[in-house]
Amino acid sequence: MGRFGYHVIDADGHGGEAANWRDNVPTQWRQRLAEYRDRVAKHYAKLVLPGGGTKRPGDKFDLRPGMTNPDERLKDMDLEGIDVTVTFPGGAGVWISDPNLSTPLYSHDADEPIVTASLYKLAVMVEAERRVEAGQLHYGDIITIEDEDITEDGSFELAGTELTLDEALEAMITISDNGAALALWHVLGPENINATLVALGIKDFHVFLNFDEDNIATPRAVGTTLCPPIKRAINALAGFSKISRGLPA
């Protein structure tokens, strides 16, 4: 039994980042980082959060050893009465590029495989666009949201909803609709999506074949090889669809 008569579980902890990670930000981006932190601080200023409007003068939450050291985190847990914590590891893979340049503007751990979550939807769009270009599908074709497309991750659409391919792509990309994405995933087939990625030279991007798998990719794979076909797909859709409203030109 926990300190308060019941177990207190922290299910969204983060840690492992280097305490001085900001020192590694390239000089040309530090002003942008400072502006971003200022916007975030103002946005959350009135919320009851550590570092928000309720902090006491002189408190420096980001300097506590427990923020980066697991052993010190145990002391903080005792202090706060937390019995168990599930902590996400620190670190990130980064690839920042300009499509007009041959080398990235910045990269860090660019070949580190990561779970890509909703980024798989970009690969789904690439496969759908390939089929449209080949005449195998048309933007007006009907995609039906089936019961199997509605999962615990949620959906903006109900089972039985009929969307055109164009509407399904728009919902999947602009609002990250999971129901539309899984409907397209089922129709197109994950094996076919992965085969198209390989044919495009994208070897480090894997779309899940079943619900026991994760979507995996490297930042380099996304940044150097997946973005060009995505950009072509977006440009192709822009004249027919409203999809371009939610994406940069």
pLDDT at residue number 246: 42
pLDDT confidence of residue 206: 94
Taking the C-alpha atoms of residue 122 and residue 225, their distance in angstroms, rounded to an integer, is 12
Does 104 reside within a domain?
A: no
Which domain-ending residue is among 91, 125, 144? 91
Distance CA 194, CA 111 (A): 18
Q: The CATH number of the domain where 207 resides is what?
A: 3.40.710.10
pLDDT exceeds cutoff 50 at 171: yes
Range with the poorest average pLDDT among 56-70, 72-86, 151-165: 56-70
- Do residue 57 and residue 132 come from a single domain? no
pLDDT of 78-115, one tens digit each?
Answer: 888 888 887 776 667 888 877 667 788 888 889 999 88
For residues 167 and 235, membership in a common domain is answered with yes
Which of 37, 60, 91 is the last residue in one of the domains? 91
Same domain, 127 and 238: yes
Please check whether residues 241 and 131 belong to one and the same domain: yes
Q: How far is CA 24 from the centre of its chain?
A: 23
Strands (E), 92-203: 94-96, 106-108, 114-115, 142-144, 162-164
In a domain, 103, yes or no: no
Q: Within a domain: residue 67?
A: yes
The total number of structural domains that make up the chain:
2
Q: Alpha carbon of 11 to those of 2, 74, 106, 214: distances in Å?
A: 16, 15, 32, 20
Instruction: Verify that 119 and 242 share a domain, yes or no.
Output: yes
**The dihedral of CA 27, 23, 49, 117: what is its sign?**
positive
Least confident segment among 34-43, 51-60, 203-212, 228-237: 51-60
pTM above 0.85, yes or no: no
102 within domain boundaries: no
End position of a domain, from candidates 57, 91, 125: 91
Q: What burial class does residue 64 get, using C-beta atoms within 10 Å of its C-beta: 0-12 exposed, 13-18 middle, 19+ buried?
A: middle
For residue 59, give every residue at least 6 positions away whose Cβ sits within 8 Å of its Cβ, in sequence order, or none: 50, 51
Same domain, 83 and 143: no
| Shared-domain flag, residues 76 and 127 | no
Q: Tell me the CA distances in angstroms from 227 to 30, 98, 102, 135, one per residue in order.
A: 26, 10, 13, 22
Q: What is the pLDDT of residue 223?
A: 82
Residue at 4 is within a domain: no
Task: Note down the domain range covering 51.
Answer: 9-91
Residue percentage of the chain with pLDDT more than 90? 31
Distance of alpha carbon 131 from its chain centroid, rounded?
Answer: 25
Convert the pLDDT of each residue in 188-219 to its tens digit: 999 999 999 999 888 899 999 998 899 999 99
Q: How far is CA 144 from CA 76, 181, 183, in A?
A: 50, 11, 7
The answer to the question of residue 1 being in a domain is no
49 and 159 in a single domain? The answer is no
Report if residue 100 sits inside a domain. Answer: no
- Among the residue ranges 58-62, 68-72, 87-91, 151-155, the one predicted with the least confidence is 58-62
- pLDDT of residue 249 exceeding 80: no
- Is the domain of 21 the same as that of 119? no
Is 242 a residue whose pLDDT tops 50?
Answer: no
Residue 132: closest CA among 208, 240, 249, 247: 240
Classify residue 160: in a domain, yes or no: yes
**More confident position, 5 or 159:** 159
Q: 202 with 138, same domain?
A: yes
| 238 and 139 both lie in a single domain | yes
Tokens 């270009």: give the residue: 133
> What is the C-alpha to C-alpha distance for residues 234 and 243, in angstroms, rounded to an integer?
7
Examine the domain organization and report whether 210 and 171 are in the same domain: yes
> In this predicted structure, what is the pLDDT of residue 17?
63
What is the rounded distance in angstroms from the CA atom of residue 129 to the CA atom of residue 173? Answer: 13
